[in-house]
Amino acid sequence: MIDRKEALHPSSGVARLSNSRGLPFQELVWRVASCSALDPVVMAFTLMIKRVNHLVSGADSHCDDPSCALCAAAIVAQYPGSDDSLLEIYHQAYSEIELCLGALQQKKREKAAVA
């Protein structure tokens, strides 16, 4: 149980979500907890939490910030789908993050080539 507001990052905030779901989700949480906040894995996890927040109506949390560990735990715990469907949302978010980062890197290379 999470007893205070704590940001998802640093990793201690993410780690508090490890008991919110089953083993597949727990493994993702531990992977995210081992990454820096700027890692695409973390970005995708945060995006997944925000998207699940939109899917879960009336999440019973003490605040409205899906980036706080307390709210994120409530959001994830109340998600009615399976761990597999939750992981699908994560993988979709990860693909989108990677696509965006790739496009940004390409623009940076093009700009450097022109200069």
Residue 59's pLDDT is 47
The residue assigned the tokens 């290379």 is 109
Q: How many domains does the chain have?
A: 1
Confidence of residue 55 (pLDDT cuts 50, 70, 90): confident
In a domain, residue 31? The reply is yes
Confidence of residue 12 (pLDDT cuts 50, 70, 90): low
In a domain, residue 87? The reply is yes
Confidence of residue 5 (pLDDT cuts 50, 70, 90): very low
| Spatial separation of the C-alpha atoms in residues 22 and 43, rounded to whole Å | 21
In a domain, residue 3? The reply is no
Mean pLDDT over each residue of the chain, to the nearest integer:
83
In a domain, residue 18? The reply is yes
Structural domain containing residue 94: 11-114
In a domain, residue 56? The reply is yes
In a domain, residue 24? The reply is yes
Residue 45's pLDDT is 93
Length of the chain: 115
Residue 8's pLDDT is 54
Identify the three-state secondary structure at position 68. strand
In a domain, residue 6? The reply is no
Phi, psi values for residue 15, rounded to 5°: -60, -25
In a domain, residue 1? The reply is no
